[in-house]
Amino acid sequence: MSGSGGFYKYRCKYFYTHNCPNWVYVNNSPCANCCAEGREVDGGTSEITSARYSHDICVPRVEDGVVHYTLMEIVNTDESGNQWTLRYKVNQTQVPTVMTTSATPGPPVPTTSF
């Protein structure tokens, strides 16, 4: 336990195995850094190596001054992990767009009566 403030703090689950210096609030759990590095997966190796995973991303594009995001994925295409392809995650159908405007009328101008 370390520190104060009313909560117990424990060393990261990977303190001894990966020399992680971080602290957590739940005993025998990985810290955020270890989770981000993929250490939270227990057990043997998975069927697919980490280089074979596809990664989902949102790709920005601009049409007529409006930013749109397209869901795409980056997929590894060879065994060495050096060739990656960007492809659409879902079928792209042409959606009719509705024209909108951000113009608003100005403030009312007071007039004087004679």
The per-residue pLDDT for range 7-32, each reduced to its tens digit, is 788 889 888 888 889 999 888 889 98
Distance between CA atoms of residues 114 and 109, nearest Å:
16
Torsion angle of C-alpha atoms 61, 104, 98, 88, degrees rounded to 10: 20
The per-residue pLDDT for range 97-114, each reduced to its tens digit, is 555 666 666 677 777 765
Q: What is the pLDDT of residue 44?
A: 42
Distance between CA atoms of residues 20 and 56, nearest Å:
28
Q: What is the pLDDT of residue 97?
A: 58
Beta bridge mates, 11: 23
The per-residue pLDDT for range 66-85, each reduced to its tens digit, is 888 888 888 887 777 778 88
Question: pTM value?
Answer: 0.34
